[in-house]
Amino acid sequence: MILVIDVGNTNITFGVFKGEKLVTSFRMMSQTSRTSDEFGMEIIAILSANGISKEDFEGVIIASVVPKLMHALVNSIVKYVGKNPYIVGPGIKTGIKIVTENPREIGPDLIVDAVAGYELYGGPVMVIDFGTATTYIVVNEKGEFCTGVVSPGIRISAKALWEDTAKLPEVEIKKPKTILAQETISSMQAGLVYGQIGQTKYIIEEMRKALGYTDMKVVATGGLGRMISDETKEIDVYDSNLTLTGLRLIYEKNRKNKPSLKGYED
């Protein structure tokens, strides 16, 4: 078994793979401060509740966009799981060539999505990740990460509405019955959801035109991805476990190499 960990701005998602099968997954809030001991005890307790022991693991891999959490998290894995984790970043094998202007600026989450999108669905492929931010990346037929777009996620937009306006309330993010809203809550829901649908359609169409990829596959993932993909015929596939699968694929490419913990040692 291997343990894969995706550290996002809102949640930390853990996945346990036995071969290619995702055995279980679970989440923790990434906005909560924890020591390495707190991380370790929580992880071991949840794994134990799922009938999984630390002795079952061959290895661990982490991708993170939240640097401040990494020291505690990495050391919790070393101390409580007993493994030195691979960390997605410079020097790790991915099988994807980044041909953007500054490859080191590409976040680990985007690289992981690119690997999974290309290996599972071929190229050219666009992967849209509906997370804290909504990201659109394209990998061409040669396996090259060639471009990407980043926009505010639905939750960020919603939070801006109710925090930066005096009278708008906090609302559930869901598609209203009709776009013809007649009161405040459904008006906000319509703007958030239909606005994201419209943005998604437009960016896909413009990417296709600019790149000339009429046959480009479009894959969506992320927490609110299913709701948007169900309303967007331009999206071909919704894959809720795409990022976790990408981490597994990168682990398999690096399993013969020794993990480097440079910068994370106590």
Radius of gyration of the chain (CA): 19
Spatial separation of the C-alpha atoms in residues 173 and 22, rounded to whole Å? 28
Catalytic residue numbers read 109
* Residue 139 three-state SS: strand
Q: Where are the beta strands (DSSP E) in the chain?
A: 2-7, 11-18, 21-29, 59-64, 86-87, 97-98, 125-130, 133-139, 144-152, 217-221, 237-238
* Residue 165 three-state SS: coil
Question: Cα-flanking dihedrals φ and ψ of residue 75, to 5°?
Answer: -70, -30
Alpha helix segments (H runs only) across 122-241: 154-164, 184-211, 225-229
Cβ partners under 8 Å of residue 31, min gap 6? 9, 10
The CA-based angle 85-72-26, given to 5 degrees, is: 70
Longest dimension (CA), the chain: 60
